């Protein structure tokens, strides 16, 4: 799925996922993990990688990488595991 592409999840509600970070290896790994889980689960979503520091701070992120799903910061300061991402994307956490 291309960044900025919009699709809906199986429940018909569009998921919006954002990875926050300047583009370091950990930030890229976080984005790769999100893409992997989306591919494995079949959930399609809008995925953006926010690299501008002003936008990162405005989102309330104090350390990167960070991942937000539907506007809620789920994790910051480390790369999320695929297991964590599966739960968040499924709406179970």
Among candidate residues 64, 72, 70, 59, the one with its CA nearest the CA of residue 28 = 64
- Are the C-beta atoms of residues 53 and 22 closer than 8 Å to each other? yes
Q: Assess whether 24 carries a catalytic annotation.
A: yes
* Distances, alpha carbon 69 to alpha carbons 23, 62, 88, in Å: 19, 17, 7
Q: Which of 7, 11, 14, 24 is catalytic?
A: 24
Q: Which of 18, 27, 34, 37 is catalytic?
A: 27
CA distance 27 to 80: 10
Q: Supply 43's token pair.
A: 């959930």
Q: Assess whether 65 carries a catalytic annotation.
A: no
Q: Which residues are catalytic?
A: 24, 27
């Amino acid at each position: 799925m291309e960044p900025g592409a919009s699709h809906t999840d199986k429940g018909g509600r569009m998921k919006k996922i954002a990875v926050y970070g300047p583009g370091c290896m950990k930030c890229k790994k976080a984005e790769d993990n999100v893409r992997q889980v989306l591919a494995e689960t079949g959930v399609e979503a809008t995925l953006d990688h926010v690299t501008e520091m002003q936008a990162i701070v405005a989102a309330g992120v104090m350390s990167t990488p960070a991942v937000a799903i539907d506007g809620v910061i789920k994790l910051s300061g480390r790369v999320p595991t695929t297991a964590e991402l599966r739960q968040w994307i499924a709406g179970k956490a």
